[in-house]
Structures are given as C-alpha cells and as structure tokens.
Structure 1
Amino acid sequence: MKQQVVLAVDDLSVSFRVRGQDLQAIRHVSLALYDQEILALVGESGSGKSVLTKTFTGMLEDNGRITSGRIMYGDTCLSDLKRDREWDQIRGKGITTIFQDPMTSLDPIKTIGSQIAEVIIKHQQKSPAEAKAQAIELMTRTGIPDAAERYNAYPFEYSGGMRQRIVIAVALACHPRILICDEPTTALDVTIQAQILDLIKQLQREYHFSIIFITHDLGVVAAIADRIAVMYAGQIVELGTCDEIFYDPRHPYTWSLLSALPQLATAASGLYSIPGTPPSLFHDIEGDAFAPRNRYTLAADFKQEPPKFDVSPTHWAKTWLLDPRAPKVEKPALIRNLHARLVALTKSEMQISQKTGGPTSDE
C-alpha cells in the first residue's frame, strides 16, 4: 500500500542575511513525511535541522527567507504563507513543536494546568470546565502523578523531566497532525531520556500523528525512528529506514556520526571525534561539502557535488563512493552490528526506568 504523504518539501533553499552577507543555511532539500511515521533528522549542530523545521511553522528569524522551492502541507503551500493570521491555521492544530528547554516554552507566572487549558480552549473551543478536565486527563496520560492536585502548580515546582512531560501535554492539547520534537531530551539524564522517548512513542501510537525528531545523537533515535535523514551543511546527504542507516550506512559522514556515539567509547580507544570543522555557508560550496573532513575522499569530491545514488527503493546517499567507477570501501569496523547493540542498550535503559518507578521517577 502506498503511504500517504502529509508534508512534502521540494528543492527548498533558505538563506539568512548576516552582516551584509547571505548565509545559505538550507541548500536544495527535498523530503517527504508520511502519515503516522517517525522521521529523525540527525547531524551536527549547525547542519540545518532546526532551520529546516522552522520553515514548516513560519518561525524563521526576521533575517531569514526561503529563496527557492516549496513546502506542501495537504493542499496548503506553506512557503507562500506570509502573515501570522495565515499561519494560525497551521501552527498548533496542524503542526506543533516541542523544544529542547521546556522552561522557554512554559510561562513561569502561570500555573501548569491553566497553560494546557488555554490551548484546549483555543484549538478545540471547549468551555473552561471542559478544558480543565481534559488538561488533567492529558497530565495523567503524560505521566504526571496526582494530576488533579498538581493542576495549580507552577513550572518551577516541577523537575526538568516533569516539565518536558507538560510541554508534551500542551502539544497534544492541539491535536496536531505533525509533532516536531527539537532535541526534546538533550537536557535530561539518560534514564529520564529513555522514559521521555518511550512516552513519545506510546503517545504517537495512541494519537496517530507523524513525528519529526531532531537530534545530533543517532543513538537517541535507534529504537524509535522509522526513517532517518542525515543532514550536513544544509543538505540531506543520506536517507533511509532506521535499519538501513544503522546496518548499511553508505555516506562517510554517517559513518563518522555513528562512530562518535558515546556508547562506543572505551577506556582503551576513547571517544571518536570527527576531524575538522563544517564548511562556511557564506560561500558557495564546490564539490562534496564533507570532502575536507572525509578520510575516504576521492578526487571527484573536490570538483563536483555528488548526485543521489539509490541503494534501495527506500535508501539513498549523496557520495561518489557509490558511483560504479569508485573503489570499493568498507565501513569502519567500529560501527558494524551497531543497530542491535543500540536497541538492546535503549531497551535496557527503559527497563531500568520502569523498575525505578516508570514515568513518575523523574519527579
């Protein structure tokens, strides 16, 4: 059965005007998000993950603009929307975002319950009494103990993990079609992180929305993502199913990201780090943007940008190593059989969290 596309990005480019120069933050990105899937965007800081998703909600900074391409959400061309009044039909009920730091999303002088209820009243046109009852139900669903009693608590009275659960409850109050999770677990310790990931996956199955999950850590999405898009220097350089990216990665940058997973560090080898720095996006990039940092680089990498090479019907990568004329190169030994190891580790962390109190252990 053909999957339904809920968001389609076609040849999108985004630039920012910075100190009199144009910075090309997104460079000709095409992408589809399917109904009820979890799509992970991974890459180093500055690779363009958050900028890309900000175009889906019209949240680019004032000095940013879409320079080419289009974004379709159903029959609506998001890249054509200009006014907040137009975006009000999309933000929240259509597409909503959970950010990394819940304290930047919550009003410190309003009670937790009232902030959830306000969203319910706005997006579902419920009465205050109905909104309060639904808010308490959402708090319970997201793992807040004694939700009715804690309805009138303030954000500072909650731990970081509990605040992140409240932000998830606020997002779900909108009944979104697409939920963007922008590094939602980065500030949490590993046990609470596992709980939040488990909660997001559970709620996605229950409410049937699609998720775009942004992270710099491939290990975070090993057990929850359906597909993974690897971003570097404003482009998607590899895209495939979760199994394909972990079992059969093809781009050297993906190899480097996988090799740098903290879970692979040992006392003898230490933690792998990718050499060099990403290129400046103030200038046009000739060839493969990753070439100067790539230990497997070819002469062609410095001359011409590689096209997409299909590995399977669901997997492609932009690297000259996939050209039939290129020499055969094996992925590093460090990352072989990686997916099974990471899934086992994530499940172990989730089991530990459940034994220590499940969703309420981050109070």
Structure 2
Amino acid sequence: MTVNKNVILSAKDVVVEFDVRDRVLTAIRNVSLDLVEGEVLAIVGESGSGKSVLTKTFTGMLEENGRIASGTITYRGQELTNIKNHEEWEKIRGARIATIFQDPMTSLNPLVTIGRQITEVIVKHQGVSSSEAKSLAIDYMERVGIPEAKKRFNEYPFQYSGGMRQRIVIAIALACRPDVLICDEPTTALDVTIQAQILDLLKELQKEYNFTTIFITHDLGVVASIADKVAVMYAGEVVEFGTVEDIFYDPRHPYTWSLLSSLPQLANASGELFSIPGTPPSLFTPVVGDAFAPRSEFAMQIDFEEAPPIIHVNDVHWAKTWLLHPEAPKAEKPEVIQGLHEKIKAKMSVEEIS
C-alpha cells in the first residue's frame, strides 16, 4: 500500500464509547480517516452522527464519561491516543490543533476584554512581550475584518455582534499559529450574509497562514464552497468519502443522496424540502447490517443482515453500501439530484433576476 507523505493526521479504526446511565453508547464505530496537508476536509452529517465527537479525539476534549476504546490517531508521527494528561495535551491542543466552535460566546470570557483575551493567547503560544502581543493582537483583529481594531481592542464580547464575535474567535485561533484548524459548525448561528463572509474569510486566511482545515457541518451547501474532500458520517461511521466533486456529482450512498436531496436550493415551487424519513438507530446496541437501511427506499434484504463493505469508485472515492456490489440491482440516484450542478445554477439565476 502506498503511504501518502502529505498525510499529517490519520485516524485508524477509531471506536469511541460513552458511559451513559450504566449503559455504553458507541458514538464512533471503526472510523478511519486521513487529513492531507493543505486541504480542507469537510465532515458532514445529521446532528448526532458523530462529527464533533470524532474531532474531539484529535484534541483530547472528550467528556469525562467518554473514551477511545480502540484504534489509533497519529499526528505527524505522534500517537495521540497515548497522551494521558492535560500537560501533554496542551502541547497539541491550541498550539498545533486549534478549534473554532459554533457559538463564540462559549469560547469568549464575557468578563474579559477582547484585546486581553487575544494577547494572553499570543503571549502563551508565541512567547513575546505584552507590548508586542498587543500590536500583534490588533493586527489579527484587522486581518479578520474588525473595523477600528485599535478602538475596539478594550471592548467586551457583549459589545460585538455575533459575526464580529466569531471573527474574534478566529483571530484567537490564528494567534495559536495552528497546523490544523478544526471549524465546528462555525457559521450555523449566523445569518446567510454573515455566513458567506466568514467562509470567505476562512478561505483567505488558510491561503495566508497555510494551515490545514477540518470543517464540520450539516449543511452540504457550505461544503460546496469550501471543501476539497468530504467525509459523510451516519450513526458514528463514515459511509462515503471522496472529493467534493465526487460527493456532489457522483454520490453513491443512499444517505448521501438523501442529504443532497435536502439542499435548500432544491425546494419545490411551494418551498417544500425533502426530509429523510425515520430516525437514526440507537447506538446503545450493536448495529446490524447497514445503519441507514431502515430509512432507505433502496434497502435490500442483505442491508438488514450484513454490514456493507467499503467499495471503491476511484482512487479517493469510496462508499459503504451494498448497492455498489457487482451483483446488486442497478439503482439510480433520486431524480431531484440528477443534474445537480445545472439545477443549482438555474435556481441561483432565477433568484438573482428576482
């Protein structure tokens, strides 16, 4: 097997368990994933699919009742599952792998000025004096688009809008000079206009600072504008993986078909959207067969009996589905996502005219 020298973080057969009321919940089920230097890897799926839990294992931020039960996570040759204490994690968390969370108010201290929160991070991670840190902090604020940064340096988080607070959280993450930046639903709480600005900002900063990005989202529309590779998660496992073009224009897993069918751009004339029927399975008990089978109109008998194998479509594109088996009956993706590129383009043209 050829090893990609540009892989900087690699998860292999990772299983994550949580103790919940005297029961064990298996939140991550044998996930393997490679992060390639300089790329944007998007992890997509419904709420509860395991996206955030998986990336928390990269920074040692699992809740106290959670643990990595098996598997390996290697970051630039270092085995992260061997790290057992807070002091060792501090050398990785923030310093090498930083995270931007969905709600900036959970990341910012409401009682401390914006400027002080940024300078403290700069002093810790860059080892400069307080005066140098202040100058750098103002520079970071300007780079993330804070107007009148010098004036606003001594203001508090409540004096900033939601979009501005998210920009400050990004500035703090940049001040750590991370190698990998995990963006955990960073635009979900923002309106569409501000969301687009934050996405553009992240793309610009990645080029400037040369970090690698993991972008967690349930919104495939966001993925199209920012990702290089996409991992689709369902019920604690990756069910499809490929380039952003593979996932959008040649998806192979029925769950990916359903996510794409739910894109807002594909709403019908009355504004109705496709919704996936049913609910995800309980992860307190072992999943038999394909976890998505009970919700899929394309499910075959074998989907309820045996776990599907990984079947490769090309060198980087694969899916876990029996539909790709040579002996499976041919199944066409739903009509609503056939010619997806043209449909979205046409929708955008209509909206611009109106």
Give the TM bin, normalised by the shorter chain.
over 0.9
Sort the Cα spacing of 1:195 and 1:340 in 2 relative to 1 into closer, same or farther, 3 A: farther
Q: Who is 1:150 aligned against?
A: 152
Q: Who is 2:318 aligned against?
A: 316
CA contact (8 A) 1:243 1:339 kept: no
Q: Kindly state the Cα deviation for residue 183 of structure 1 after the two structures are TM-superposed.
A: 0.3
| Gaps in structure 2 of 5+ consecutive residues | none
CA contact (8 A) 1:194 1:346 kept: no
Sort the Cα spacing of 1:341 and 1:136 in 2 relative to 1 into closer, same or farther, 3 A: farther
Sort the Cα spacing of 1:336 and 1:59 in 2 relative to 1 into closer, same or farther, 3 A: same
Instruction: Find runs of 4+ consecutive structure 1 residues off by over 3 angstroms.
Output: 339-349
Q: Who is 1:356 aligned against?
A: none
Measured in 1, the distance between the counterparts of 2:250 and 2:284 equals 33
Counterpart pick for 1:111 among 110, 113, 129: 113
Measured in 2, the distance between the counterparts of 1:229 and 1:339 equals 20
Q: Who is 2:36 aligned against?
A: 34
Q: Who is 2:60 aligned against?
A: 58
1:325 corresponds to 2:327: yes
Q: SS where residue 223 of structure 1 aligns?
A: helix
Q: Who is 1:291 aligned against?
A: 293
Q: Kindly state the Cα deviation for residue 269 of structure 1 after the two structures are TM-superposed.
A: 6.4
Q: Report % sequence identity.
A: 64
Sort the Cα spacing of 1:93 and 1:237 in 2 relative to 1 into closer, same or farther, 3 A: same
Give the residue type in structure 2 aligned to 1:33: L
- Pairwise CA RMSD: 1.9
TM-score computed with the length of structure 1 as normaliser: 0.93
Q: Who is 1:238 aligned against?
A: 240
Q: Kindly state the Cα deviation for residue 3 of structure 1 after the two structures are TM-superposed.
A: 5.5
Q: Who is 2:162 aligned against?
A: 160
Q: How does 1:202-281 map to 2 (within 5 A)?
A: 202-268=204-270, 270-281=272-283
Q: Kindly state the Cα deviation for residue 263 of structure 1 after the two structures are TM-superposed.
A: 1.9
1:97 corresponds to 2:99: yes
Q: SS where residue 61 of structure 1 aligns?
A: coil
Measured in 1, the distance between the counterparts of 2:201 and 2:15 equals 34
Measured in 1, the distance between the counterparts of 2:131 and 2:8 equals 33
Q: Kindly state the Cα deviation for residue 193 of structure 1 after the two structures are TM-superposed.
A: 0.4
Q: Who is 1:361 aligned against?
A: none
Q: Who is 2:71 aligned against?
A: 69
Q: SS where residue 8 of structure 1 aligns?
A: strand
Measured in 2, the distance between the counterparts of 1:204 and 1:293 equals 38
Counterpart pick for 1:180 among 179, 182, 195: 182
TM-score computed with the length of structure 2 as normaliser: 0.96
CA contact (8 A) 2:266 2:343 kept: no
Q: SS where residue 243 of structure 1 aligns?
A: helix
Measured in 2, the distance between the counterparts of 1:67 and 1:183 equals 26
CA contact (8 A) 1:222 1:343 kept: no
Q: Kindly state the Cα deviation for residue 342 of structure 1 after the two structures are TM-superposed.
A: 4.9
Measured in 2, the distance between the counterparts of 1:121 and 1:65 equals 32
Sort the Cα spacing of 1:217 and 1:161 in 2 relative to 1 into closer, same or farther, 3 A: same
CA contact (8 A) 2:43 2:214 kept: yes
